[in-house]
Structure 1
Amino acid sequence: MRDLAAGIRYLGKGQRWVARHGRWWGFGLIPALIALVLYGAVLTVLALFSGDIAAWATPFADGWGAPWQGLLRGLFVALLFAGALLLSVLTFTAVTLVIGDPFYESLSEQVEKDEGGCPEGADRPLWREIWIALCDSVHVLLRAAGFGILLFALGFVPFLGQTVIPVVGFCVNGFFLAVELTSVAMQRRDIPVRERLRLLRGRKALAVGFGTPVVLLFLIPFVAVVLMPGAVAGATLLVRDLLPADEQEPEEMRAQAPQPGY
């Protein structure tokens, strides 16, 4: 319970940090707004062509009379749009982090400087940083999708599927969202994605306490845009306390450091 409460506090600390640094909050809004426009455009196109998609996907209903054809295709459109909205919520953070890699890297560095020192990141070109962030996000999303399929199947279990499974689902999504948000500070330390997952699995309650409230808040329209800068700031503070002092420097720099006795 202590770690769970600590995770929630990190989210609050991050939001307070950006509230005290309004310029950085505005700076961090830019990639989230870009992602919001992209998602809005895709969902608008989907809404415009959803009827055609429903007709294409249900050719067996072409000869059905009213009202059954309309009910079937209306249900298909509703499920299609609901699935698209859920996918948008699950992928919004990953897409925003990839789009805003240089933005959130700068914001995260400033948070660390305010906290007493920022580790110097590995010397890589911007395109390489974005490529690593994209590959890491795909890796995390594939793992999350595996759990999502399992939880979807368990959702058909009577009683458990309507009570316990949704709660577990939010916690699982919260854990993976915490992995995504901490990736900015972790990547600066040159910690590979599998090691990030191992570190956060060792403190599951901390990751769930931080990520699950973010998942719930991100379900509210436009809230994800407003809270994104503070979520990155809070994740940076979490990483600083999660890692031992000797792991704060990037792996490449630790490897180059002189060893005792030499």
Structure 2
Amino acid sequence: MPAAPVLSGPQYLREGLKLVLSPGLRLFVLLPLTVNLILFVALIGVAVQQFGGWVDAFMPSLPSWLSFLEYLLWPLFVVLVLLMVFFSFTLLANIIAAPFNGFLAEKVEVVVRGEDHFPPFSWAELAAMVPRTLGREARKLAYFLPRAIALLILSFIPVLNLVAAPLWLLFGVWMMAVQYIDYPADNNKLSWQDMLAWLREKRWQSLSFGGITYAALLIPFVNILVMPAAVAGATLFWVRERGAEPVTKPQP
């Protein structure tokens, strides 16, 4: 039986993790894991060196008689920088790993449905997915960047930047649902606009899945395994919430 809508996200992510650890799917997880690990190590190195400067850049300049507020505001701006760094890491990792994630979503769908409508694995098939999946990632960037830039500008405006961190968090939760559920949607030829419309119809389920994925990705080292688990969980979300539909292989 499906979970209640608001609680369905943790269930999908948990089941997705079990799927990617199963013997039949481990092979398709190795490449995304490697990409994640390399990027994570690089991000940690850069963040350790630059983090303090980034926080100082966003902190507003206060007159001396209000200097005591710096101790109250500093944690908020630490959170703001963490959210922005996390966004950058996730965005870059998903762009690089997009073909592998799309292929993983395809194989998870085969396992979940028990029907293989996709051709058998070949490196040629994987290579053929690259232009399509990267094109879809470019579409996500076009959706993401204007909104992220607006939030970034808001982050520099005194007083208004106090709401930047919660807005980044809410936007991040939504983008996690968009990012990962788009893989099975794209594999099944659902257009970008139709995919967004479908997610809005499933708003609470989508936010539930995006929220648990976002939270798990914020945990160091755990987040290395979360990306493939989220791809598998999003595919489960697609199959169960969308209902049994014929699977067709998109032409590259």
Residues 174, 212 of structure 1: 8 Å contact kept: yes
Match of 1:101 among 95, 98, 101: 98
**Alpha-carbon distance in 1 for matches of 2:24, 2:111:** 15
Unaligned runs of 5+ in 2: 58-69, 120-124
Q: Structure 1, residues 56-109: CA drift from partner, whole Å, max 9, x if none?
A: x8xxxxxxxxxxxxxx9xx99xx6x87664233224333333222332233222
**Quick one: structure 1 residues 154 and 197, their matched pair in 2 at CA, closer, same or farther if it must change by over 3 Å?**
farther
Partners of 1:143 and 1:242 lie apart in 2 by 29
Equivalent residue for 2:141? Answer: 138
1:178 aligned to 2:177? yes
| Residue in structure 2 matched with residue 223 of structure 1 by the alignment | 222
Aligned length: 226
What is the aligned partner in structure 1 of residue 111 from structure 2? 114
Matches within 5 A, 1:198-213: 198-213=197-212
Give SS of 1:100's match: helix
Alpha-carbon separation, structure 2, partners of 1:151 and 1:25: 42
Among 83, 88, 92, the residue aligned to 2:89: 92
Judge conservation of contact 1:140–1:176 (CA < 8 Å) in 2.
Answer: no
> What is the CA–CA distance in structure 2 between the aligned matches of 1:141 and 1:100, rounded to whole Å?
18
Distance 2:33 2:245 in 1: 33
Match of 1:8 among 2, 10, 21: 10
TM-score of the superposition, structure 2-length normalised? 0.69
SS at match of 1:228: helix
**What is the TM-score with the length of structure 1 in the denominator?**
0.67
The answer for the alignment partner of 1:38 in structure 2 is: 39
Equivalent residue, structure 2, for 1:189: 188
Aligned-residue CA RMSD (Å): 4.2
**How far, CA to CA, are the matches of 1:173 and 1:83 in structure 2?**
12
User: How far is the alpha carbon of 1:210 from its aligned partner?
Assistant: 0.7
**For residues 185 and 48 of structure 1, what CA distance do their matches in structure 2 show?**
38
CA contact (8 A) 1:32 1:96 kept: no
- Is residue 101–residue 228 contact of structure 2 (8 Å, CA) maintained in 1? yes
In structure 2, what is the Cα distance between the partners aligned to 1:192 and 1:48? Answer: 41
Cα displacement (A) at 1:22: 4.3
Residue 67 of structure 2 aligns with which residue? none
Structure 1 residue runs without a partner (length 5+): 58-71, 253-262
